[in-house]
Amino acid sequence: VPAGAPRAPSNEIENAIVEVWKEVLQVDRVGTEDNFFDLGGHSLLAVKTHRRLCEVYAAPLIAQKPGESSQLAVLICRDEAM
């Protein structure tokens, strides 16, 4: 990955999350190691993003605690149907 270039999604889940982040944050480029807050996110957008991701996956997500990583690469999805 060239310096300054966002790290591309490596699978379908990462790609879907990238697309939601781009939509909610209204940005053109998001990489899997990008920080949500560094891209302009804030607490209200985090809630909106969480809701949108739940819609996309039709499953709840495990939310990160404040102060934990806010990088896309560490999001964990969980299917409650299991």
> What is the 3-state secondary structure of the chain?
CCCCCCCCCCCHHHHHHHHHHHHHHCCCCCCCCCECCCCCCCHHHHHHHHHHHHHHHCCCEECCCCCCCCEHHHCEECCCCC
pLDDT at 22: 95
* Consecutive 10-residue averages of pLDDT for the chain (82 residues): 73 87 95 90 88 76 53 46 38
pLDDT at 21: 93
pLDDT at 11: 85
